[in-house]
Structure 1
Amino acid sequence: MALNPSRSAVSATCKALRRCGNSAQSAAQRLRQPVRQLSTSTSRRTDSFETTSEQQNRPRWSYTPERMKGPGFSINIVKDPSRTVWHNNEDPAKLDAMYNRLLGSKGDRMLPDEIKWLAITHKSFDQGRRGFNTRLAYFGRLIVSFEATRHILVTPANARDPPTQDSFGREPFQDPALANVDKLNIRQPMDVVSKDKLAKLAIDVGLPEVTRWKPRMPEHLEGSGLTAVLNTSLFAIIGAISLQHGAEVAQQVVREKILRRLGA
């Protein structure tokens, strides 16, 4: 007898739910509104992003991907419109000539076309949408620094004055393994491959004419960081050669094509 109230409550609830369902169906039939189906799959707008066969055949370095383009306007307020005009090289033959001057005969064949353009592309070019050489430059900077340090260690030291005689007859400890360490107290790797020296080398081989970047002040390239940009491109080329051909080839290029030209 104690369960009768509970059973009656359950039956009343079921009747109420059936009544609500019937009323909802009748209202939908009267309004004749189609039921909207929810789908878990995302729809694609292929009309605006669909690439043509002509775009697919173009090399990656020569265009900005459609999906990375903005709305067509910029929110930045340009104070001087003349500073927004800057033209970069798009001629592969001019780029190959620079690689031949830097790396020697057939130097343009040491890297694939895509990597050749990536190594000379600064992050300021096209807002970085076509890739840039920051990571390659970091790797190449370590290789150049290592070779400059080794060059200092293997270079014979200048003749020094003989050490003074100790009054107590003591002799300092000497070992062939420690003989070259003192050379780093006199000369540092930054003295061998300084920024100015590398920038001058880059100018001699024509790197400024092919480097892709956007200076902040086109009328004042030095104030826009031309020296740093040229150093970055040189380091990136060495880093790309190391990844493409191995560390031994990259170290040989640094010794013969960079350090020797710098008079090291």
Structure 2
Amino acid sequence: MASLLPVRAVRTASCSACRSFSSLYPAQFALPLSRRNYSTPAEEPPVDYTNKPRWSYTPPRMKAPFSLHFDSKRPDFPVNNDPQLLDQFYIRFLGEGGDKVLTDEVKWLAVTHKSFDQGRRGFNDRLAFLGKRIVQLQASLALAQSAPNTHGQPAPDRYGRKPFEHPALEGLDNLSDNTKRFLTDKSKLANVARHYDLEKVLRWSPRKPRNLDGSGVDLVLAHTLYALVGAISLEKGNLVANKVARERILAPLGFQVTV
């Protein structure tokens, strides 16, 4: 109780001071309190999202009441919103009937980078994580099954020993991190993606719209190519995804794949 006495004394003194101030200065002489005016956005008419596909709009609850780019002079970067153009890409990438392989939502999700619309419509990071593992595995198998590297003969053993040889082990010399990394470099994958005109349907927001190379377009294209394989794996299974990885990605890169 002793510790509460100073607090009560201060409260009593402050209340008495307020009463004395109000008795000396009537209400008409009181100074106006400063108020801050907050501008609120105009109320928009309600929109019916029942029949609208999920990829075509930003969820209402994720919209900010103000612009996220204050006084931004960066020009808008146009992205594709035409489903027919997207279907044409899938036909080029997967062949005839490729536009029917994936569902509509997944088709758009696979080509959407996390930079587009601040990621509020979903993005393809998880699909790319899965697809990259599939492509890397098929690249390792293709290197191990390709013709052995004959760049020079190994030095003869001083003790006359001979290494064990077997036809199934002839391609192991090709399997190295440097070889696989060189053949699956992001610039090479980006060229494969451009061969299918992936850049026309890619949904992303570059940091420098006038300098796509400086914004990392090669990395985004390679990332999206992995995401396409991951989406096919989830919807059609690993057998189809492995075939797409070998025939549509690794074969154009120069891998010796078995169809």
Q: Shorter-normalised TM-score: what interval?
A: 0.7 to 0.9
Are the aligned partners of 2:139 and 2:180 in contact in 1 as well (CA < 8 Å)? Answer: yes
Matched with 2:186 is 195
2:151 matched to 1:157? no
Worse overlay, 164-173 or 83-92? 164-173
Match for 2:58 among 61, 64, 77?
64
1:159-215 Cα offsets, whole Å, 9 max, x none, are: 354555444333334455654332224862222222111101111211111111111
Gapped runs of 5+ residues in structure 2? 1-42
Question: Tell me, what secondary structure is at the counterpart of 2:50?
Answer: helix
The answer on 1:243 being equivalent to 2:237 is no
Q: Which of 98, 110, 115 lines up with 1:107 in the alignment? A: 98
Identical columns (%): 46
User: 1:204 and 1:220 mapped to 2: Cα distance?
Assistant: 20
Give the conservation status (yes or no) of the 8 Å contact 2:127–2:230: yes
Residue 73, structure 1, aligned to residue 59, structure 2: no
Relative to structure 1, the CA distance from residue 168 to residue 137 in structure 2 (aligned partners, 3 Å threshold; closer, same or farther) is: closer
Could you say which residue in structure 2 is the equivalent of 1:133?
Answer: 124
Select which of 127, 136, 144 maps to 2:135.
144
TM-score (norm 2): 0.75
Q: Using the alignment, how far apart are the partners of 1:177 and 1:260 within structure 2?
A: 22
In 2, distance between residues paired with 1:186 and 1:119?
Answer: 28
Equivalent position amino acid for 2:137 in 1: F
Please report how far the alpha carbon of residue 156 of structure 1 lies from its aligned counterpart in structure 2 after TM superposition: 1.1
2:223 aligned with 1:229, yes or no? no
Q: Which residue of structure 1 aligns with residue 209 of structure 2?
A: 218
**3-state SS of 1:182 partner:** helix
Aligned residues: 213
Select 1:170's aligned residue among 151, 161, 165.
Answer: 161
- The answer on whether the counterparts of 2:110 and 2:124 sit within 8 Å (CA) in structure 1 is yes
The structure number with the bigger radius of gyration is 1
